[in-house]
Structure 1
Amino acid sequence: MRTGRSVIAAVIAAARAVLKMRASRAAHSRANGALEGLRASRALHRAFTRARRSGGRDSQERTMKSEATRAVITRSRWLVPGLLAGGVLMGATTLAASAAAAVCQDGKMRSCAYDGWCGGIEICSGGHWSLCEPIEDCPPPQEVNPYGYLDVVALDQTAQHVEVYGWAIDPESPLTSLNVRVIVDGYQQGTFLANTYRPDVGSGNYHGYSFVLPADTWGTHRVCVTAVNIGGGVDKSLGCKWYDVKPKVTTSWGQGDVNRCASNPVGDLNALPMNRSSFRFVLGPTAEGLDYWFGEPHLQGVQRLAFGDGRSLIVSRSGHLGLYVVNMGSQNGTGQPFVSGVQSNDAVVYRELNPDDRRNYGSHVHQGHMGGLQTMGRTLAFPVESPDASNLTLNQKTRVMFYEMGSPASPELITSVKRNVLKSPEAGAVGITRLETGRILMVVGRKDSNNLDFYVSGLNGPYTWSHRYDWNEQELKTQIGDTTFADYQALNFVTGCDGTLFLVGTDRNTVGQDWVDLFRVEFRFDPGTSSGPDPRVILTKVAKNHLSCSGDCNLDASGGAYVTPSGQLLLYGTEHEAGGDQVNGQFTVRAGQF
């Protein structure tokens, strides 16, 4: 009678033959592999035959027979029948006393218990442990990594926070609540416990996570959640989702805190007529210094107030005066486009001194340069910079002024953003818009707007600000093939009715070459950049148009965007000086509407 050792040795030899066959499978043909499988099954059969002939019936022998029934199989269809043939010859009685096991192609053992019969032969993991139906796949390995899902990332505009929901579980410890790690825009924000009630998950009812994060003040932001492993696996990403803090969108014209959205800003800008509709406004009995020789005062920016009766223009200038408020009394009071011509009641109704004269900071020439401006509902913002800042303190050098224009002929100063907040002593143009959270987004163009600084206000209005990004023209992207970023004298935000934010820039490069360009503005995390994970402003040029002022206007002097009550985008411009024909002995300023 053979000993148990010889039986075990024979079984091990058979298993080694199978493993050897698996290692060489890639180098041999399908037929050679089948032959190796047949040889392995025969070796296994001989081992069991020797065990049966020994006639042993003691406990040790039964144990050896039970071990022998741990058949060796692979995932390959062509190998299984040969191995199973060897198993059939052992007889149903021996098989019935044991469970099955398999050596898969990864070299690991997979155990499975029978759950039925096929002609007296067990079924293992759904496949018959016989020639009835060969087992084609090893049972899948047990999952050891945590898993779950990021269900929701949602902005709560009122609460100024982001709500995050999902679930996570570790299969090695299904009743344990996991930690999840949160990363926003490439920066880790902390870990949170997934222990809230989620009966839909299974394996215990408390595998949900629910928490809030402070919302960013502007732009598109990516929130990623990772389940932290507690067993033998590794941490597992549960996904990423985005949230947006967009501009406020309204289709109502005349709102006090926001401008109407533009229905088709790209199409409207492309369709602006090359030739303008001309009109003028009355300045007064003198030109008030607007001669536009070198160093002389000149006009700087223009805005049509989208509030009230829609007849008011605000025009900024240099010199001892800061701006004019013009009432176009002959025009319609519905906010629709102006008509050509001039009447005596189209006239300046208010003159604002520049900040130096108003506050006695010294000679008015120190801060005598007001730049491109923008209105937002009743709010007006314009920059003030000094051509000669040598004798001024830090906060006197450059400022952005905010005015309340609810009564256009009586503006009220709200506040000024001073140099201790502004990133640069240069401020040639300003644009503002309202965000859906109530904050104000502001762009300040430095000299010739080749560099742009973006700021976001606090919730209390234009009193506190945070600098979000300084953008350089080298960063410009384009979708129209044109990469020109000009020396814009005016920068105005326009919000599309789909929530897309645009920036309008106006410029004249040579005499008669007046241009208006349109850029899509985004503020988002860009994982493809090499300079770090911080969110960044992305300006993409989406449209341009060559206009002709022909003496009535000059987009190197002033230009300004306006949206009508019907959502149409228009553009206004003025000349540098008071060069229009006199009306009843009064000087006039020429202007154009596109």
Structure 2
Amino acid sequence: MAPNVPGQLQNLKHHGEPLGYWIGDSTAPTIGGHINGMARCDGPDGTPYMYVGHAEGGGEIVVVRLASRDRDGERLRSNRLQRFTNSWQTPPPSEDVVVQVIEFSVADFLGSGVPMTYAHPGGMQILDNVLVVALQDPSASTAADAALAVIDVADPLSPQLLELKTVPDTAADDIEGSGAAAITRLDDGTYLITSMLKIAGKDEKTLIAWRTPTDNLRDLADPGVDLVEFDRWRASELTEYGDEESDWEGGPTTLGLNWPFQALAYVRESPVDGDPSRLYLLAFRNSTGAPSDGDDWIHLYEVFLTGGALKLDFVAKRKFYRDTTQDQMGDFSAAASAYVSPSGQLIVYSAEYTNGGPSGTVRFGEWPHIGHDADMIGRPGDAWFELYDNDNGWSDANQSMSLVFDAIDKDLENLEDLDLHDNFDARCSSIIWRLPVGESIILNEEPYFQGAGLVLEGNGHVRYLADLEASFIDNNPAEALVSDWGDRIKSVRFAGQCVGQAVAVPETQPSLALGLASLASIPGSCSTVSIRAGLYLHPEGAVMKAVSQPVRLESGGGLVIILKP
């Protein structure tokens, strides 16, 4: 669940943060067999995985292990950071790579004995380690033109088919395909699954809705347990809020495509003051459908189950940006998805059409919640700041490019010369920051921390300066007035008693705990301590590589014992 879903949607960053992965031994996507659909799910040990659809090689979903990322289920942060190199030139770490391929044109799908003939997996969503994906374009003439696959991904390296649900034609509907699927848990514990259908000769777009007969998705593996269809919702039934157009129809794009949305995602809102939780549907679209073209939008609908039928009310829509001056981070006409972190943060992901990143990697982006009018939803001890090249750069009305800097990644950033960081020197016009008490950032007018400096302190909350030419911190006259700093900043750094202190803790064996004595060398009270293990000796004598995964400690008011990295 996520608190305040409409508010979080409006507070998502309008520009994403760059990520990427290596395709490994999987088939490279092409424009004709492009990336189509994606979803995030964390593995048993917390390692984040991305499931990405390819309409290539007969249709497949690749399983991407992002082993370089934190294992806490929160924002991934960019994995394309390297000293003295711009992000658009930086490939991801080698351990962020495809580790499994789920093929959809095989005689025996995932060892289930079920033949699979679909060349086009579409939009997908994961809930409770179960993936639902819409399928179309069968290679066998006897197969239904649309289907839904329900797959258990609790073990990312050994996915299991729970159910293949075909959508047969009816007297009223000649089914031509299925483009996107979504899943949510209902108040009674059962699950609602919907898939968007393309129906011949009809302008309205249709959602087919199923419910599970039990509260355990894995019961679907039993041949006697089946999804139960209970409604087919038509776009002509849509209820709109106010006078704003819902755009469900979408209309034909410049490519002549008639899908209104490329991906769907249910998000349930946390209940407030004892009220029932509210259910929302996020729908992702691109205005043209052309690779690297058009505008990307998310439309938000509130969903009701009334009298055994679906009812949708349009709530809002918002435009997003996936390009930088030199790079592309995604495309809503290719793949997009929504994810809710353990802390309740709504996060959006999108991938590009093909593998156009450095060294043939696939680029994708992360759009986390961040806003100057509310505390950040996420880890309480995080230290970060973000520079924008327009005043009020986070607003939709004045959206602009930005750079985000996390204290935990400071050794990978070109803080001393922003010209080396996507040519961002002397471009900053506004800034948002969030630092624990006792920490600060210093912004200098010359590279390598030279010249005049502007010091901004942390208080544990999100703070902002809307215009570095002249504005009060947090737009509050009781706070400091900052003036004449627009387009001057050329280097930045974290400061304070906690940030920047790291302790090298060698391990004697891969399984042993970190040394407890390491914490004794850090004076003062800290909100966050990052520890990286050094080289260690394997029991057989081989020297193993350094452990790159940071260990995050958040203050709990007492002795902290680290059991394992």
TM-score (norm 1): 0.49
Residues 403, 412 of structure 1: 8 Å contact kept: yes
| 2: CA distance, partners of 1:421 / 1:376 | 28
Is 1:316 paired with 2:53? yes
Q: 1:306 to 1:329 in 2, by over 3 A?
A: closer
2:13 aligned partner: 273
2:305 to 514, 518, 523: 523
Q: 1:565 to 1:393 in 2, by over 3 A?
A: closer
Residues 264, 568 of structure 1: 8 Å contact kept: no
Residues 118, 138 of structure 2: 8 Å contact kept: yes
Further displaced range: 506-515 or 305-314: 305-314
Is 1:441 paired with 2:196? no
Residues 455, 468 of structure 1: 8 Å contact kept: yes
1:346 aligned partner: 96
| 1: CA distance, partners of 2:296 / 2:148 | 26
Deviations, residues 454-509 of structure 1 (Å, cap 9, x unaligned): 11121264441222221122222222523211311111111111211111111111
Deviations, residues 46-101 of structure 1 (Å, cap 9, x unaligned): xxxxxxxxxxxxxxxxxxxxxxxxxxxxxxxxxxxxxxxxxxxxxxxxxxxxxxxx
Q: 1:545 to 1:311 in 2, by over 3 A?
A: same
Deviations, residues 264-305 of structure 1 (Å, cap 9, x unaligned): 11111111111111110111267x24121xxx2111111111
Residues 330, 345 of structure 1: 8 Å contact kept: yes
| 1: CA distance, partners of 2:25 / 2:51 | 20
| 1: CA distance, partners of 2:143 / 2:24 | 35
- The CA deviation at 1:404 is 1.2
| 2: CA distance, partners of 1:554 / 1:347 | 20
Is 1:282 paired with 2:30? no
Counterpart residue type for residue 312 of structure 1: Y
2:39 aligned partner: 303
Q: 1:356 to 1:398 in 2, by over 3 A?
A: farther
2:233 aligned partner: 471
| 2: CA distance, partners of 1:291 / 1:482 | 34
1:380 to 107, 131, 137: 131
Counterpart residue type for residue 496 of structure 1: E
Counterpart residue type for residue 205 of structure 2: N
* Counterpart mapping for 1:47-86 below 5 A: none
Residues 365, 388 of structure 1: 8 Å contact kept: no
| 2: CA distance, partners of 1:373 / 1:470 | 19
Deviations, residues 212-258 of structure 1 (Å, cap 9, x unaligned): xxxxxxxxxxxxxxxxxxxxxxxxxxxxxxxxxxxxxxxxxxxxxxx
Deviations, residues 416-458 of structure 1 (Å, cap 9, x unaligned): 1123599745211110112232322111101399211111121
| 1: CA distance, partners of 2:47 / 2:316 | 27
- The CA deviation at 1:357 is 4.9
| 2: CA distance, partners of 1:464 / 1:377 | 18
Residues 286, 294 of structure 2: 8 Å contact kept: yes
Residues 327, 345 of structure 1: 8 Å contact kept: yes
Residues 41, 129 of structure 2: 8 Å contact kept: yes
Q: 1:492 to 1:336 in 2, by over 3 A?
A: same
Q: 1:263 to 1:365 in 2, by over 3 A?
A: closer
Residues 518, 542 of structure 1: 8 Å contact kept: yes
TM-score (norm 2): 0.52
1:593 aligned partner: 366
| 1: CA distance, partners of 2:317 / 2:196 | 19
| 1: CA distance, partners of 2:212 / 2:205 | 23
| 2: CA distance, partners of 1:300 / 1:332 | 26
2:528 aligned partner: none
| 1: CA distance, partners of 2:349 / 2:336 | 5
Which aligned segments of 4 or more residues in structure 1 are displaced greater than 6 angstroms?
Answer: none
1:56 aligned partner: none
1:192 aligned partner: none
Q: Tell me the secondary structure at the aligned position of residue 279 of structure 1.
A: strand
Q: 1:421 to 1:568 in 2, by over 3 A?
A: farther
Q: 1:484 to 1:398 in 2, by over 3 A?
A: closer
| 1: CA distance, partners of 2:364 / 2:340 | 18
Q: 1:285 to 1:322 in 2, by over 3 A?
A: closer
Q: Which runs of 5+ in 1 are unaligned?
A: 1-260, 526-534
1:432 to 180, 183, 190: 183
| 1: CA distance, partners of 2:48 / 2:169 | 34
Is 1:403 paired with 2:176? no
1:156 aligned partner: none
Question: What is the alpha-carbon root mean square deviation over aligned residues?
Answer: 2.6
Q: Considering only CA atoms, is the larger Rg found in Structure 1 or Structure 2? A: 1
Q: Tell me the secondary structure at the aligned position of residue 474 of structure 1.
A: helix
| 2: CA distance, partners of 1:310 / 1:330 | 9
2:67 to 329, 346, 353: 329
Q: Tell me the secondary structure at the aligned position of residue 280 of structure 1.
A: strand
1:198 aligned partner: none
Deviations, residues 16-68 of structure 1 (Å, cap 9, x unaligned): xxxxxxxxxxxxxxxxxxxxxxxxxxxxxxxxxxxxxxxxxxxxxxxxxxxxx
Residues 17, 329 of structure 2: 8 Å contact kept: no
Residues 37, 122 of structure 2: 8 Å contact kept: yes
| 2: CA distance, partners of 1:588 / 1:447 | 32
Is 1:483 paired with 2:235? no
Is 1:454 paired with 2:227? no
* Counterpart mapping for 1:46-445 below 5 A: 261-284=1-24, 288-292=27-31, 296-306=32-42, 308=44, 309-319=46-56, 320-340=58-78, 341=80, 342-358=92-108, 367-386=118-137, 391-394=141-144, 397-420=145-168, 424-445=175-196
| 1: CA distance, partners of 2:149 / 2:105 | 9
Q: Tell me the secondary structure at the aligned position of residue 23 of structure 2.
A: strand
Is 1:507 paired with 2:280? no
Residues 518, 543 of structure 1: 8 Å contact kept: yes
| 2: CA distance, partners of 1:343 / 1:466 | 44
Residues 43, 155 of structure 2: 8 Å contact kept: no
| 2: CA distance, partners of 1:365 / 1:564 | 33
Q: 1:446 to 1:310 in 2, by over 3 A?
A: farther
Q: 1:366 to 1:311 in 2, by over 3 A?
A: closer
Q: Which runs of 5+ in 2 are unaligned?
A: 81-91, 251-259, 272-276, 368-565
Q: Tell me the secondary structure at the aligned position of residue 269 of structure 1.
A: helix
Q: Tell me the secondary structure at the aligned position of residue 446 of structure 1.
A: strand
- The CA deviation at 1:366 is 5.3
Counterpart residue type for residue 305 of structure 1: C
Residues 580, 590 of structure 1: 8 Å contact kept: yes
Is 1:578 paired with 2:355? yes
Q: Name the structure with the higher helix share.
A: 1
Q: Tell me the secondary structure at the aligned position of residue 10 of structure 2.
A: helix
Residues 456, 467 of structure 1: 8 Å contact kept: yes
Counterpart residue type for residue 400 of structure 1: L
